[in-house]
Chain A
């Protein structure tokens, strides 16, 4: 799975990146840009800020996705902060997502045991969209258990207690953590945060189901430029 901040670095290049990502990955996670992304590290935050120069409304993002989607190629997953959904209206947002071929949604800043999440989940179930849950190594067991009873689609396992885009290390404890998740969950496990190289991905794919590459795509773009992204993804 790969990650894209919609509208970064500008309208045209963002479309290009989006197409490349769709060609090479099973899932593409499209982030709705937001001025205060609290769960992301600097690199994505900066990308969000740049993207906001080109994205003026939530509808822009939907239009972007509809316009640039390559049919039957990869699944599109929306990642947005709760504020974006709230301003758009819960039901309106979910229905619009469905109409824009988004069948998966991640909301990083709403814990699953809140009223807001319940109402969101209810709408998602009605409409037929998967809500993706994130778990981290520090998530208590009770919470994992209750997540496992409601989670559908796949589970987003955060590789370490970090924000996105910090160099990660995938050692023994990490293996234990993933195999523990395996016991708990029957659905596939995707691992994200801090994955930067081919080696990382090989390691992770040997124990988890797939890996999630986010900041590295942006980093590659910064070091110039598009062909490099496709080359990087091709190697994977």
Chain B
């Protein structure tokens, strides 16, 4: 069977990974969503509506930039950047939000719930919910809520309700738990707009399908520019919603090598990381079977990374599957390397990637060294870097905090 067909399939199994480990109450809900999805997927009228939205609302196709100066600097491979951050709301997240909101409307849902760690998904959800006149509640861990206050405000400016979750560890994980419980309690009226390719069947398949537009565009754009396929595709992996988008279309082209970058966190303290593939424990947690990082007593381990979206202790089932059959290669990048990559990219091309994407850029720079110039590498810049300004600015400018202090005094 072709890989593409395996990655989007109605059974929900990807090799031994995936499926839906859910309580009995959720089964009818998931069945409803699955039927809706596989029906709409084949409906031409729906596709037309979606194409219009892509063009007139999100602003696709997003540009594929040839980074000439960067390529020269790193000697010599040709590096292309797929600029997903030019999308409306500044990330690739809007791709699946638009899709899912149409699905929710098709299913006659009146209310959208979502959860977010680093706001992009929340903001994208809030903005599509506003556009389509649906009620919207967004769960956020209390820690993230405080950490990302400016972004919370931008979400609240739309008509979404943002709920800080004070239970458990107060990060994305608790937000996810909370949203799921909300879904069970209000299953008739509510659609759960899941943020990436994980969760129970059919969400992983759905999300790949929603994001695959990125890879399709890359194929066309590269074909227009240099009439060939890329040699390397590089993207960062939190779960993999941006990586899947870039890679899906090339899965069956065996000449294309795919490299997925995880966060190694701080180099010195090796327990503080988020590389799920380093230990390869296959377990079932939160609705599906995949690789997890865990503690000695079989509970889920807390992870660490400088970037919020890579900071998670498990991965998408499809990703685990692809890694397991050696279709992709995993590498990891430390916090410092990621910060350096932002600097280099800013100096050469004036592209400001988010910390997550910077992991991919760093790997791209490492890999390009010494490669001949006819090696074509495509790197996905999935997020805009402004969101991380409070984390990155002090690293670039040692006087940043002093400036902030002075600024606060003037208020």
Binding site for B on A (CB under 8 A): 34-36, 38-39, 41-42, 45-46, 49, 52, 55-58, 82-84, 86-88, 108-111, 114, 116, 133-136, 138-140, 143, 158, 161-163, 166
A136 pairs with B185, CB closer than 8 A: no
Q: Tell me the nearest residue of chain B to A113, going by C-beta.
A: B27
Complex: how many Å from CA A140 to CA B297? 37
Given A36-B173, A49-B168, does the pair A109, B23 have CB atoms closer than 8 Å?
Answer: yes
Q: Tell me the nearest residue of chain A to B168, going by C-beta.
A: A49
Chain A residues whose C-beta falls within 8 Å of the C-beta of B173 in the assembled complex: 36
A86 pairs with B167, CB closer than 8 A: no
Complex: how many Å from CA A49 to CA B173? 14
Among B31, B167, B185, B299, chain A packs the most CB atoms within 10 A around the CB of: B299
Q: How many chain-B residues does the 8 Å CB contact rule pick out?
A: 30
Q: Tell me the nearest residue of chain A to B184, going by C-beta.
A: A163
A109 pairs with B21, CB closer than 8 A: yes
B370 adjacent to chain A (CB < 8 Å): no
Given A87-B298, A138-B187, does the pair A39, B23 have CB atoms closer than 8 Å?
Answer: yes
A38 pairs with B284, CB closer than 8 A: no
Closest CB in chain B relative to A164 CB, distance in Å: 10
Residues of B157-191 contacting chain A, CB below 8 A: 167-168, 173, 177, 180-181, 184-185, 187-188
Given A82-B21, A109-B21, does the pair A38, B283 have CB atoms closer than 8 Å?
Answer: no
B285 pairs with A83, CB closer than 8 A: yes
B23 pairs with A38, CB closer than 8 A: yes
B24 pairs with A38, CB closer than 8 A: no
B168 pairs with A45, CB closer than 8 A: yes
B235 adjacent to chain A (CB < 8 Å): no
Residues of B276-295 contacting chain A, CB below 8 A: 283-287
**A163 CB contact (under 8 Å) in B22, B185, B287:** B185
Chain B residues whose C-beta falls within 8 Å of the C-beta of A140 in the assembled complex: 28, 31
Q: What are 18 sample pairs from A and B whose C-beta atoms fall under 8 A apart?
A: A36-B177, A36-B286, A38-B23, A45-B167, A83-B283, A87-B298, A109-B22, A110-B21, A114-B19, A116-B21, A116-B284, A138-B25, A139-B24, A139-B27, A140-B28, A161-B188, A162-B185, A166-B185
A136 pairs with B181, CB closer than 8 A: no
Chain B residues whose C-beta falls within 8 Å of the C-beta of A57 in the assembled complex: 297-298
Given A83-B298, A87-B298, does the pair A108, B184 have CB atoms closer than 8 Å?
Answer: no
A38 pairs with B299, CB closer than 8 A: no
Complex: how many Å from CA A82 to CA B28? 20
A38 pairs with B27, CB closer than 8 A: no
Q: Tell me the nearest residue of chain B to A109, going by C-beta.
A: B21
Q: Tell me the nearest residue of chain B to A134, going by C-beta.
A: B24
**A83 CB contact (under 8 Å) in B20, B29, B184, B284:** B284
